[in-house]
Structure 1
Amino acid sequence: MAIPEYKLSAVLCGHSMDVRCVSTTKENCILSASRDRTAKLWHPEGVKDFVNVVTYKGHTNFVSCVCWVPPCEAFPEGLVVSGSNDNTILGYNLQDASIQITLEGHENAVCSVGPGRDSGILLSSSWDSTARVWNINKPRATPLVLKGHQAAVWAVLELGNSTYATASADKTIKLWNKDATLITSLTGHTDCVRGLVVASQESFLSCSNDATIRLWTNKGQCLNTYYGHSNYIYSINMNPALNSGFATCGEDGSVRLWAAGDCVAEIRLPVHSVWSVTCLDNGDIVTGSSDGIVRVFTADAARYADEVTLKQFEEDVLKMQQAAQQEIGGFKLSELPGPEVLLEPGKSDGQTKLVRRGTNVKCYSWSAAENTWNELGDVMGANPPQEGKTMYQGQEYDFVFSVDIKDGAPPIKLPYNKTEDPWVAAQAFIHKHDLPQVYLEQVANFIITNAKLDTLPASSNGFADPFTGENRYVPGTTSATGLPPPSAADPFTGAGAYTTATASAASAASTDKPLIPHDAYIRFDQANLKAIFEKLKEFNSKVGDGISALTTEQLENVVKLGELNSTYNPETVLLLKTMLEWPKEILFPVLDITRLAVRNKDINGQIFDTTYGPTFVKYLLSLLAPDNLPANQMLAMRVLVNAFSDLPGEMLVLAARDSLVHAIICLQQINNNAQIAAASLLLNLSVALAQQLDTAELADCLIHLLNRLTDNEAYFRALIALGTLLAESPNKLLIQTKIVSSAQLHNRLKRDSSSAPPDAALRKISTASQQLCRLL
Structure 2
Amino acid sequence: MAIPDYKLSSVLCGHSMDVRSVATTKEFCILSASRDRTAKLWHPEGVKDFVNVVTYKGHSNFVSCVCWLPPCEAFPEGLVITGSNDNTILGYNLQDGVVQINLKGHENAVCSVSPGHDFGVLISSSWDNTARVWNLNTPQMSPVILRGHEAAVWAALELKNGTLATASADKTIKLWRKDGALLSTLTGHTDCVRGLTVATEDSFLSCSNDASIRLWTNRGECLNTYYGHTNYIYSISMNPGIPQGFVSCGEDGAVRVWTAGDCVRSLRLPAQSVWSLTCLDNGDIVTGSSDGLVRVFTKDPSRYADETMLKQFEEEVQKMQAASQQEIGGFKLSELPGPEALLEPGKSDGQTKLVRRGENVKCYSWSNAENTWNEIGDVMGANPPSEGKTMYQGKEYDFVFSVDIKDGAPPIKLPFNKTEDPWVAAQAFIHKNDLPQVYLEQVANFIITNAKLDSLPATSNGFADPFTGESRYVPGTTAPAGLPPPSAADPFTGAGAYTTASAAGATDKPLVPHDAYIRFDQANLKAIHDKLKEFNSKVGDGLNAFTDEQIENIVKLGELNCTFNTETVNSLKKMLEWPKEILFPVLDITRLAVRNKEINGQIFDTSYGPNFVKYLLTLLTPGNLAANQMLAMRVLVNAFSDLPGEMLVLAARESVTHALICLAQLNNNAQVAATSLLLNLSVALAQQIDNVELAECIIVLLNKITDKEAYFRGLVALGTILAESPNKLVIQTKIVSNTQLQNRLKKDSSTFDPDFKKISICSLQILKML
Fold match (TM-score > 0.5):
yes
Contact 2:145 2:180 in 1 (8 A): yes
Separation (CA, whole Å) in 2 of partners of 1:251 and 1:345: 19
Contact 2:89 2:110 in 1 (8 A): yes
Instruction: Report the AA paired with residue 638 of structure 2.
Output: A
Provide the secondary structure at the position in 1 that maps to 2:40.
strand
Separation (CA, whole Å) in 2 of partners of 1:155 and 1:424: 44
Quick check: 1:449 aligned with 2:448?
yes
Give the drift of 1:324.
Answer: 1.3
Provide the secondary structure at the position in 1 that maps to 2:443.
helix
Separation (CA, whole Å) in 2 of partners of 1:286 and 1:240: 13
Give the drift of 1:336.
Answer: 4.1
Hey, what does 1:763 align to over in structure 2? Answer: 711
| Residue number among 715, 728, 732 corresponding to 2:647 in the alignment | 728
CA deviation vs aligned residue, 1:569-628 (integer Å, no higher than 9, x gap): xxxxxxxxxxxxxxxxxxxxxxxxxxxxxxxxxxxxxxxxxxxxxxxxxxx9999999xx
Hey, what does 2:70 align to over in structure 1? Answer: 70
Hey, what does 1:107 align to over in structure 2? Answer: 107
Hey, what does 2:315 align to over in structure 1? Answer: 315
Separation (CA, whole Å) in 1 of partners of 2:627 and 2:385: 49
Hey, what does 1:219 align to over in structure 2? Answer: 219
Provide the secondary structure at the position in 2 that maps to 1:277.
strand
Q: 1:443 to 1:200 in 2, by over 3 A?
A: farther
Q: 1:301 to 1:403 in 2, by over 3 A?
A: closer
The TM-score, its normalising length taken from structure 2, stands at: 0.63
Alignment of structure 1 residues 11-30 onto 2, 5 Å = 11-30=11-30
CA deviation vs aligned residue, 1:674-710 (integer Å, no higher than 9, x gap): xxxx9999879699869757989x999999xx9899x
Alignment of structure 1 residues 158-177 onto 2, 5 Å = 158-177=158-177
Provide the secondary structure at the position in 2 that maps to 1:240.
coil
Contact 2:5 2:299 in 1 (8 A): yes
Hey, what does 1:555 align to over in structure 2? Answer: none
Instruction: Report the AA paired with residue 240 of structure 2.
Output: P
Structure 1 unpaired stretches of 5+: 432-436, 466-474, 480-484, 495-519, 524-619, 627-652, 663-677, 772-776
Instruction: Report the AA paired with residue 10 of structure 1.
Output: S
Contact 1:11 1:294 in 2 (8 A): yes
Quick check: 1:399 aligned with 2:316?
no
Hey, what does 1:183 align to over in structure 2? Answer: 183
Separation (CA, whole Å) in 1 of partners of 2:484 and 2:386: 40
Give the drift of 1:371.
Answer: 6.2
CA deviation vs aligned residue, 1:206-227 (integer Å, no higher than 9, x gap): 1111111111111111111111
Separation (CA, whole Å) in 1 of partners of 2:99 and 2:248: 32
Give the drift of 1:260.
Answer: 1.4
Contact 1:20 1:65 in 2 (8 A): yes
Provide the secondary structure at the position in 1 that maps to 2:322.
helix
Separation (CA, whole Å) in 2 of partners of 1:224 and 1:57: 41
Hey, what does 2:536 align to over in structure 1? Answer: none
Contact 1:422 1:447 in 2 (8 A): no
Hey, what does 1:57 align to over in structure 2? Answer: 57
Hey, what does 1:607 align to over in structure 2? Answer: none
Separation (CA, whole Å) in 2 of partners of 1:355 and 1:731: 29
Give the drift of 1:400.
Answer: 3.9
Q: 1:223 to 1:93 in 2, by over 3 A?
A: same
CA deviation vs aligned residue, 1:455-478 (integer Å, no higher than 9, x gap): 76885325689xxxxxxxxx9968
Instruction: Report the AA paired with residue 139 of structure 1.
Output: P
Q: 1:747 to 1:375 in 2, by over 3 A?
A: farther
Separation (CA, whole Å) in 1 of partners of 2:357 and 2:593: 30
Provide the secondary structure at the position in 1 that maps to 2:180.
coil
CA deviation vs aligned residue, 1:198-245 (integer Å, no higher than 9, x gap): 111111111111111111111111111111111110000001122121
Contact 1:707 1:744 in 2 (8 A): no
Contact 2:22 2:31 in 1 (8 A): yes
Provide the secondary structure at the position in 2 that maps to 1:356.
strand
Hey, what does 1:422 align to over in structure 2? Answer: 426
Contact 1:327 1:381 in 2 (8 A): no
Contact 1:695 1:731 in 2 (8 A): no
Contact 2:215 2:224 in 1 (8 A): yes
Hey, what does 1:192 align to over in structure 2? Answer: 192
Aligned identity (percent) is 60
Alignment of structure 1 residues 171-570 onto 2, 5 Å = 171-327=171-327, 332-345=332-345, 355-359=355-359, 388-390=388-390, 397-401=397-401, 414-418=413-417, 422=426, 425=429, 444-450=443-449, 451=451, 459-461=479-481, 488-489=510-511, 492=514, 520=516
Separation (CA, whole Å) in 2 of partners of 1:326 and 1:684: 46
Give the drift of 1:158.
Answer: 0.5
Alignment of structure 1 residues 632-671 onto 2, 5 Å = 656=562
CA deviation vs aligned residue, 1:505-525 (integer Å, no higher than 9, x gap): xxxxxxxxxxxxxxx5679xx
Provide the secondary structure at the position in 2 that maps to 1:27.
helix
Contact 2:257 2:265 in 1 (8 A): yes
Contact 1:17 1:290 in 2 (8 A): yes
Separation (CA, whole Å) in 2 of partners of 1:3 and 1:293: 26
Contact 2:25 2:31 in 1 (8 A): yes
Separation (CA, whole Å) in 2 of partners of 1:657 and 1:387: 72
The answer to which of 181-190 and 757-766 deviates more is 757-766
Instruction: Report the AA paired with residue 226 of structure 1.
Output: Y
Instruction: Report the AA paired with residue 101 of structure 1.
Output: I
Provide the secondary structure at the position in 2 that maps to 1:305.
coil
Q: 1:348 to 1:406 in 2, by over 3 A?
A: closer
Q: 1:406 to 1:138 in 2, by over 3 A?
A: closer
Provide the secondary structure at the position in 1 that maps to 2:241.
helix
Separation (CA, whole Å) in 2 of partners of 1:218 and 1:352: 37
Give the drift of 1:108.
Answer: 1.0
Hey, what does 2:681 align to over in structure 1? Answer: none
Separation (CA, whole Å) in 2 of partners of 1:195 and 1:720: 39
Give the drift of 1:28.
Answer: 1.1
Provide the secondary structure at the position in 1 that maps to 2:131.
strand
Quick check: 1:36 aligned with 2:32?
no
Contact 1:207 1:214 in 2 (8 A): yes
Separation (CA, whole Å) in 1 of partners of 2:305 and 2:381: 37
Give the drift of 1:75.
Answer: 1.3
Instruction: Report the AA paired with residue 47 of structure 2.
Output: V
Separation (CA, whole Å) in 1 of partners of 2:517 and 2:412: 39
Separation (CA, whole Å) in 2 of partners of 1:323 and 1:521: 31
Hey, what does 2:746 align to over in structure 1? Answer: none
Hey, what does 1:570 align to over in structure 2? Answer: none
Q: 1:166 to 1:271 in 2, by over 3 A?
A: same
Contact 2:213 2:227 in 1 (8 A): yes
Q: 1:122 to 1:404 in 2, by over 3 A?
A: closer
Give the drift of 1:352.
Answer: 9.2
Contact 2:64 2:111 in 1 (8 A): yes
Instruction: Report the AA paired with residue 728 of structure 1.
Output: M
Provide the secondary structure at the position in 2 that maps to 1:242.
coil
Instruction: Report the AA paired with residue 194 of structure 1.
Output: R
Separation (CA, whole Å) in 2 of partners of 1:181 and 1:227: 33
Q: 1:464 to 1:376 in 2, by over 3 A?
A: farther
Provide the secondary structure at the position in 1 that maps to 2:154.
strand
Give the drift of 1:765.
Answer: 4.6
The answer to which of 268-277 and 754-763 deviates more is 754-763
Instruction: Report the AA paired with residue 177 of structure 1.
Output: R
Instruction: Report the AA paired with residue 116 of structure 2.
Output: G
Separation (CA, whole Å) in 1 of partners of 2:275 and 2:410: 41
Q: Give the CA RMSD over aligned residues.
A: 5.5
Give the drift of 1:262.
Answer: 1.4
CA deviation vs aligned residue, 1:240-276 (integer Å, no higher than 9, x gap): 1221211010000000111111111100000110000
The answer to which of 443-452 and 37-46 deviates more is 443-452
Give the drift of 1:731.
Answer: 12
Instruction: Report the AA paired with residue 125 of structure 1.
Output: S
Quick check: 1:94 aligned with 2:11?
no
Separation (CA, whole Å) in 1 of partners of 2:440 and 2:319: 41
Hey, what does 2:548 align to over in structure 1? Answer: none
